[in-house]
Structure 1
Amino acid sequence: MSAALDLSGAPAPGAGTDPVARARALAPIIAAAAPRIEGERALTPEVLDAMHGAALFRTLLPRACNGEEVRPATFVRLQEVIAAADASTGWCLGQASGCSMAAAYMEPEVAWEIWGKDPRAAVAWGMGNGLAEVVDGGYRVTGTWRFASGSKHATWVGGHCRVQERDGTLRCNAEGQPIERTMMIRKDRIAFQDAWNVVGLRGTGSDTYGVAGMFVPDEYSVCRDTEAERRLHGALYQFSTTHLYASGFAGVSMGIARGMLDEFTAMAMLKTPAATSRAMRDSEVIQNGLAQNEAKLRSARAFLLETLEEAWEAVSARGHITMDEKVLIRLAATSAIHRAKEVVEWAYHEAGATAIFQSEPFERRMRDIHASGQQVQGRSAHLEVCGQHFLGLQPQARFI
């Protein structure tokens, strides 16, 4: 272990304090910056300073890298708070936090170099078709990847690749499926394309990037969520990155819905719609709808948090996660994304013409919830996989 790693036992900034409380303290700063974040398609320097100062990017990072290793349910609650202030900020935080879990699978010295020694470390990666050819000491990497949320403030970038052996065959797992290995590359070595022209979550700056024939040393590559490469065995790292991405992005959706519902309630207390003398708050339609949507959002939230807490307690006791727990996390997370979208759509519609103005707090949330719901974690197909499990079948799905 290097001399630098000998310092890794130092507590993370904010360690011992509630990360959700730290997030609440920053929410007004983030909310005030939201229009600029969307306009510039990037988190502002002031927001980044505040988030790094509160160590919000380090909640899922190993303690050995000055992280906190918080419980998944705590991470979801943190995501809700940030996303209620600005969805793009919550999304970037969720993406970088999920990436940081790879530190538990890497050589300790390399993990420290990427995440530990830099208090402003953040990793971004996206989906694509990369190929890593085996060469002496590592890999020759070529590929293009999209959807690199948070790439503008990232310090390192990952590229997910299939691995091609020297004889031209693809490296496969025990089931005969090609494996995916992630290549970790300093951001300043990467070429980016300004391709993020979208309807919602504009502030994530989820641009496209690529490399051609770049050498990556073997120790700077990782197979995430594989038992053979797991070096840290705490309860958090028995959960997969998929579990935290699914739950964390569900937290973003629920945060958007929470913010939307709160803004709608505040408006309904004061607004009298055009062509009527009856205040909005006195409408039975609004009263009933508000109650129904509060119940819908709170029920979805309770299901996800309960599922994560029960899984955490079980994993902490037995040392591993079961298929039952994996499926319930998937079901609860995807359901929360769907229910949150329904809540936002109801509030947007009932807000009337007020909702269509950029100066009001509704239209951006409407766009953001629909952008977030299109991401892979919100796919309706996930529910089919859960149903297969409940019926005694053996679903083969990547996203459980």
Structure 2
Amino acid sequence: MNAPASPSTGPATPHGGADIPNSFDEILDAVRRLQPVLREQSARIERHRSLPEDVVHLLRGAGVFRAAMPEEWGGPGLTSIEQARIVEAVAYGDTSAGWCVMIGMDSGIYSGFLAEEAARKLYPSLDLAQSGWIYPHGRAERTAGGYLVSGRWRFGSGITHCDVLAAGCTVHGPDGQPVIDEETGEPEWRIALASPDAYELVDTWHTTGLAGSGSFDYRVDGLFVPEEHTFSFHRPVRTGPLHDAPDAILRKMSGVPLGMARAALDHVRGMAPGRSDRETKTPWTADYRVQQTVAELEMELLAAREAVYATLERQWEALERGADRDADSRVETVLARYNAFRTARRIVHRLYDLVGGAAVYRDTSPLDRWLRDATTMCQHAVAQESILQLTGNVLLGGRSSSPFF
């Protein structure tokens, strides 16, 4: 049996470090200054198959992991919209870094589901990175003072640099049977939070894209996790828009595909003045085919991006007011997110085709990496076609089978 787990503070900055950006504008400016560095490091990040320590240090110093930390702790307490924009800016520099930052800033969100004392113990610094798979693929057996956690989880993005690791579990009682949650009528689902050092990492992350996200599997057998270091998404402690609806960890996800697609379009537009069509010798800047393609893709990205931020804004305002939301308002953020992922993949694919043979060289064309990243990220549940069935069912009067809308 493993010993009780406590978080690893690692290289994190002391709680409330004055040298770390601590507002939306400050963090966004710091990330924008990092974008050229991240772009230069993209090949290395991919080869490393996780974020190198120096890259993590730069991101931590930019304040990205503290984005959702509450203002009463001295954090910036950013809205979902602001979080998504930070993620978008990081992904513009490197897609895997954007993916890890998107998950790493969950630390502030998770803290709002814990009692104050436990939250401050688990997150003693504003700048701790979160990781972990929340769906109940593990087992939590009730025992005195907490749970014995066992299982194997996938997709631990950022696990090689995280400070706190989450593991979703189904709760089982002394009789070995699942405990039924009285509120949901389903088996009780709890998230256990512990140090990544308490788990065995399993290096399964050999992938087409997002290679630098280090999304390894992890496992444990009989890890004791105190009751106060576990939570349910249905029972937040802190109130407000980040905790009154369980989808807060998903809202910023669209920043990754939006940042990647913007980077790809800017890259190809930057190539245009120096290129000519191989067959016709027409300069790209005067080539009807290139002009039309670039305009169409800008239009698609503009529409997808506006849908993401407009629906997030409406959702945030409704949650602030405590307003009831009908079926359309509950699913519009879900559909906008799905569309952002699919649109970004389509944009990168068309740009790859437009550039032609020069796009295939991994060492000289970032389009090759973006194409692979786009393909892999669209395998996430939020970008799967099942989202259309789930949301369509709700729009036609059915009950959602998803815990997130």
TM value normalised by structure 1 = 0.91
Q: What is aligned with 2:115?
A: 107
Match of 2:393 among 380, 388, 391: 388
In the alignment, structure 1 residue 191 sits paired with structure 2 residue 196: no
Change in CA separation of 1:92 and 1:56 when aligned onto 2, cut-off 3 Å: same
Question: What 5-or-longer segments of structure 2 have no aligned partner?
Answer: 1-13
Superposed displacement of residue 322, structure 1: 5.8
Q: How many residues align?
A: 388
Alpha-carbon separation, structure 1, partners of 2:108 and 2:15: 16
Alpha-carbon separation, structure 2, partners of 1:128 and 1:314: 29
Mean CA deviation greater in 138-147 or 92-101: 92-101
Alpha-carbon separation, structure 2, partners of 1:304 and 1:252: 12
Change in CA separation of 1:17 and 1:394 when aligned onto 2, cut-off 3 Å: closer
Alpha-carbon separation, structure 1, partners of 2:16 and 2:241: 18
Which secondary structure state, in structure 2, belongs to the residue aligned with residue 144 of structure 1? Answer: strand
Question: What 5-or-longer segments of structure 1 have no aligned partner?
Answer: 1-6
Match of 1:231 among 222, 233, 237: 237
Change in CA separation of 1:12 and 1:377 when aligned onto 2, cut-off 3 Å: farther
Alpha-carbon separation, structure 2, partners of 1:329 and 1:280: 37
Whether the aligned pair in 2 keeps the contact of 1:151 and 1:205 (CA below 8 Å) is yes
Match of 1:249 among 239, 253, 268: 253
Question: Percent sequence identity over matched residues?
Answer: 28
Which secondary structure state, in structure 2, belongs to the residue aligned with residue 365 of structure 1? Answer: helix
TM value normalised by structure 2 = 0.90
In the alignment, structure 1 residue 15 sits paired with structure 2 residue 22: yes
Which secondary structure state, in structure 1, belongs to the residue aligned with residue 274 of structure 2? Answer: coil
Alpha-carbon separation, structure 1, partners of 2:101 and 2:212: 12
Matches within 5 A, 1:204-353: 204-224=213-233, 226=234, 229-240=235-246, 242-245=247-250, 247-318=251-322, 323-353=327-357
Which secondary structure state, in structure 2, belongs to the residue aligned with residue 306 of structure 1? Answer: helix
Q: What is aligned with 1:372?
A: 377
Change in CA separation of 1:138 and 1:128 when aligned onto 2, cut-off 3 Å: closer
Whether the aligned pair in 1 keeps the contact of 2:136 and 2:190 (CA below 8 Å) is no
Cα root mean square deviation, aligned? 2.1
The amino acid of 2:66's aligned partner reads R
Whether the aligned pair in 2 keeps the contact of 1:128 and 1:146 (CA below 8 Å) is no
Q: What is aligned with 1:33?
A: 41
Superposed displacement of residue 259, structure 1: 0.7
Q: What is aligned with 1:145?
A: 153
Q: What is aligned with 1:133?
A: 141
CA offsets, 1:327-358, max 9 Å, x none? 11111111111111111111111110011011
Alpha-carbon separation, structure 1, partners of 2:322 and 2:75: 24
Alpha-carbon separation, structure 1, partners of 2:142 and 2:301: 49
Whether the aligned pair in 2 keeps the contact of 1:161 and 1:181 (CA below 8 Å) is yes
Mean CA deviation greater in 344-353 or 76-85: 76-85
Alpha-carbon separation, structure 2, partners of 1:308 and 1:293: 23
The amino acid of 2:216's aligned partner reads D
Change in CA separation of 1:155 and 1:243 when aligned onto 2, cut-off 3 Å: closer
Which secondary structure state, in structure 2, belongs to the residue aligned with residue 262 of structure 1? Answer: helix
Which secondary structure state, in structure 2, belongs to the residue aligned with residue 133 of structure 1? Answer: strand
